[in-house]
Amino acid sequence: MRRSEVNKIIMDFERFLAEHKFYLPVWAYWKPEEWKGKYDICSEIVDNKLGWDITDFGSGDFKKTGLSLFTIRNGNWDKKDKMYCEKIMMADEEQETPMHFHWNKSEDIINRGGGNLVMELYIATIDDKLSQVPVTVSIDGVLTTVNAGEPLILRPGQSICLRSRVYHKFYGQKGKGNVLIGEVSLVNDDAHDNRFFEEIGRFPEITEDVEPVHLLVNDYEKYL
């Protein structure tokens, strides 16, 4: 992805958050130079990868396969000081987050507003293939069973609880607008806890054609 593309996506995400009156921490708006020399007081942010996360999952086509995220809080499995995570995300209509599960993390995915969120679910087999057995999940505390891969629609205000080893992909429903998505989960660990059904990249390669408007979580090491 080009840095200019990433910058535009961040600014579009900021506008969407403002429309829904969702507010981020003050450091979310720091310029790259404001991070210099701050590791000692911001190590929790840096080490636990809090902040902006724009990804096309290595697809080269963000509009088709991509997601805009901001990790608000997160812990660390090693330190065990905070064993939870919260994210806010934006998905465009038919913009897909690819099929994956988590080895350890369970999570609630919440439609916080905007359009409808479509999810497709499969139980992972012992050898990590897609089982065709029906999937039972909790929708806001109500047990709900769907066929494997059957589109499940979450309308604004609805949430789903996903246990570990449940394959899921999601996208905004066509014709309903962008979706504001919340996540509340156990610790997020992108380095070790994601299992994508097809081998893809979690973070994009960035071509630096302009300066960053804000740092991404995968920029911290370079700039700090």
Question: Cα(67)–Cα(85) distance, rounded to whole angstroms?
Answer: 17
Q: Is the confidence at residue 100, as pLDDT, over 90?
A: yes
195 in Cβ contact with 100 (< 8 Å): yes
Task: Tell me how many degrees the CA angle 210-171-135 measures, rounded to the nearest 5.
Answer: 140
86 in Cβ contact with 165 (< 8 Å): no
* Polymer length in residues for the chain: 224
Question: Cα(222)–Cα(161) distance, rounded to whole angstroms?
Answer: 36
- pLDDT value at residue 94: 98
Both tokens assigned to 68: 């805009």
Q: What is the CA radius of gyration of the chain?
A: 17
* For range 123-132, the mean pLDDT: 98
Pick the closest to residue 12 from 67, 64, 59 (CA basis): 67
**How does the average pLDDT of the chain come out, rounded?**
96
Give residue-wise pLDDT tens across range 163-209.
Answer: 999 999 999 999 999 999 999 999 999 999 999 999 888 888 899 99
Question: Cα(180)–Cα(113) distance, rounded to whole angstroms?
Answer: 5
Domain parsing of the chain, residue ranges: 3-223
The model carries a pTM of 0.96
In angstroms, how far is the first alpha carbon of the chain from the final one?
A: 22
DSSP assignment string, 66-112: -EEEEEEEE--TTT-S--EEEEEEEE-BTPBEEEEEESS--EEEEEE
**CATH architecture of the domain covering 3-223:** Sandwich (2.60)
Pick the closest to residue 214 from 26, 47, 19 (CA basis): 26
Provide the greatest CA pair distance for the chain: 53
Give residue-wise pLDDT tens across range 8-24.
Answer: 999 999 999 999 999 99
Residue given tokens 């210099």 in the structure block: 36
Helices (H), 20-126: 39-47
Portion of the chain with pLDDT greater than 90, in percent = 92
Torsion sign, CA atoms 146, 149, 91, 166 = positive
